[in-house]
Amino acid sequence: MTEPVSFYDQVGGMDTFRRLVDAFYRGVASDDVLKPMYPEEDLGPAAERLTLFLAQYWGGPTTYGETRGHPRLRMRHMPFHVDPDARDRWLRHMRAAVDEVALPPAFEAPLWDYLERAAYAMVNTFEARGIGPQQGGRSEDGLPIRASD
């Protein structure tokens, strides 16, 4: 009896997830709402974490869990001002990335369903940007507001 082939393997493995995440972060890099949420100037570490997370979630290597533990997505996103605008921007960049990777519909549909549900679950405020304790906004002089500010 053979083991079932994972979604990860069926869509092309790590190469596919790297292409997806690279395309996504090209959009984030120029987004004036999302980019300030990343503490690193270089988005490379964030891209690596997302790649490993998605690969593991879809049946690939367990490197993410081995190095970072349980994903705890809501907890990891709580310090950031994730309002509906941020969610919609995230989805817009991810939609462009999914389209660029061009998976067959049978694979694109469940991937997009998961990404969309995850994005909605990360919303942690409905307050306008710059109100409340969440970081990720900008001060009056245009500098990013971080938790340490």
pLDDT average per 10 residues of sequence, the chain (149 residues): 90 98 97 88 92 98 92 82 94 98 98 97 84 44 40
Q: Hey, what domains does the chain have and what are their CATH numbers?
A: 9-122 (1.10.490.10)
Per-residue pLDDT at 124: 92
CA dihedral 130, 136, 137, 143 (to 10 degrees): 150
Instruction: Determine the pLDDT at residue 127.
Output: 86
Residue 137 pLDDT: 47
User: 69's torsion region: left (phi>0), alpha (psi -120 to 50) or beta?
Assistant: left
Query: 62 burial class (0-12, 13-18, 19+ CB within 10 angstroms)?
Result: exposed
Res 3: pLDDT: 81
- State residue 143's pLDDT score: 40
pLDDT at 39: 77
Q: What is the pTM of this model?
A: 0.82
Phi/psi at 144 (nearest 5 deg)?
-60, 140
